[in-house]
Amino acid sequence: MRLIRVMCSGRIDLTHVFRAFAKGADGVFIGACHLGECNYITHGNYHALALVHLSKKIMEHLGLRPERLRIQFMSGAEAGLFVEAANDFVRQVKELGPLGQGEGLDAQALQLKLETVTGLIPYIRLVERERLRLPAMAEEEYQKFFASAELQRLFNETIVEKLALGQIVSLLRQGPLTTGEIAQGVGLTPSEVSKHLTTSSKHRLVRYDENQKRYALA
């Protein structure tokens, strides 16, 4: 479990979460003030709540158990609650096992996915701010919004597409590959990879090498 000390949960960023996982943390625990009780009158704890929901969507897409990330709302006077919540989280993470291994994921492929997410965080921040942000201030509204079909559609159109392209480009930096080799490396079907390669070719990110019968970076 990775511990990161900041003054306000509103300062927690996607970078903190996914860099921790990329460096081998098996779980990330975020402690935040009770909703509606912001010490800085910025309601940063709602920002942290939205960040956790979005992070879990990304984790599920990567094949990681979302239970590896938890946010707990508490006050500075609730030391007992913190100890209880932290101990319960550590127990849960130990039951899940090491990151990736507990999900049956290939370590190299998982590292590629996490590095791709980390590199795309500036873009994801922009998407979240412009298209995935909820103005309401109620925990149940956040749960409903992030479980909605509309959110899933937006998530697929923006973040999922970029993650796939990012992984393909990262793989091709190692050298030219066939569609099948790319599919195996990123954990997609050959037809899905072909679709992304077509998009990448249109944007002149990749090209097809006729001599090697493989795709390479443009």
pLDDT tens digit sequence for 87-144:
999 999 999 999 999 999 888 889 989 999 999 999 999 998 888 888 767 888 889 9
The pTM for the full model equals: 0.87
For residue 69, what are the contacts with CB-CB under 8 A and spacing of at least 6? 17, 27, 28, 30, 52, 55, 56, 59
| Distance (Å, whole) CA 147 – CA 53 | 9
Question: With b meaning 16 or more CB within 10 Å and e meaning fewer, what string describes 120-135?
Answer: bbeebeebbeeebebe
**What dihedral do alpha carbons 107, 109, 111, 115 form, nearest 10°?**
180
pLDDT tens digit sequence for 50-61:
999 999 999 999
What six digits make up the tokens of 197? Answer: 């390669």
| Number of Cβ atoms within 10 Å of the Cβ of 151 | 18
Locate tokens 């979005």: which residue?
A: 54
What six digits make up the tokens of 112? Answer: 């590629």
Task: Locate the domains of the chain by residue range.
Answer: 1-104, 134-218
| Distance (Å, whole) CA 14 – CA 183 | 27
| Distance (Å, whole) CA 26 – CA 2 | 8
pLDDT tens digit sequence for 147-204:
999 999 999 988 998 998 899 988 899 899 999 999 988 888 999 999 888 888 888 8
Confidence of residue 12 (pLDDT cuts 50, 70, 90): confident
Q: Which fold has domain 134-218?
A: Arc Repressor Mutant, subunit A (1.10.10)
Contact present, 208 and 172 (Cβ < 8 Å): no
| Distance (Å, whole) CA 130 – CA 213 | 40
| Distance (Å, whole) CA 85 – CA 212 | 55
